[in-house]
């Protein structure tokens, strides 16, 4: 089993072992991954915004700010 926070720090992505999400991704892929559709937006929302594991604040120092800051 992977540690999602460690995978974010080491690989730049969060990895969760979750058969439900895996099945959802497989179904989405079989449909051609229509991201620019209502179904695609629903998929993205369910897979990120609605998943409390993903919405948690990343560990301190994980995200870097870019651009001009006052």
* 67, two tokens: 């651009």
pLDDT at 60: 62
The pLDDT value given to residue 70: 45
pLDDT computed for residue 67 by the predictor? 53
Q: What is the pLDDT of residue 17?
A: 79
Q: Give me the residue spans of the domains in the chain.
A: 12-55
Q: How far apart are CA 70 and CA 3, in angstroms?
A: 35
**Which distant-in-sequence residues (6+ apart) come within 8 Å of 17 by Cβ?**
1, 2
Q: Give tens-digit pLDDT for 43-53.
A: 888 888 888 87
Which residues in the chain come in under a pLDDT of 50? Answer: 66, 69-70
DSSP string of 11-64?
Answer: HSS-----HHHHHHHHHHHHTT---SSHHHHHHHIIIIIT-HHHHSPPPTTSS-
Give 67's DSSP letter: S
């Amino acid at each position: 089993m992977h540690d999602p926070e460690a995978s974010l720090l080491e690989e730049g992505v969060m990895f969760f072992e979750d058969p439900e999400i895996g099945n959802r991704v497989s179904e989405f892929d079989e449909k051609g991954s229509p991201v620019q559709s209502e179904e695609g937006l629903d998929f993205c929302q369910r897979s990120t915004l609605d998943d409390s594991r993903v919405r948690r604040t990343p560990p301190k120092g994980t995200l870097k700010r870019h651009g001009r800051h006052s």
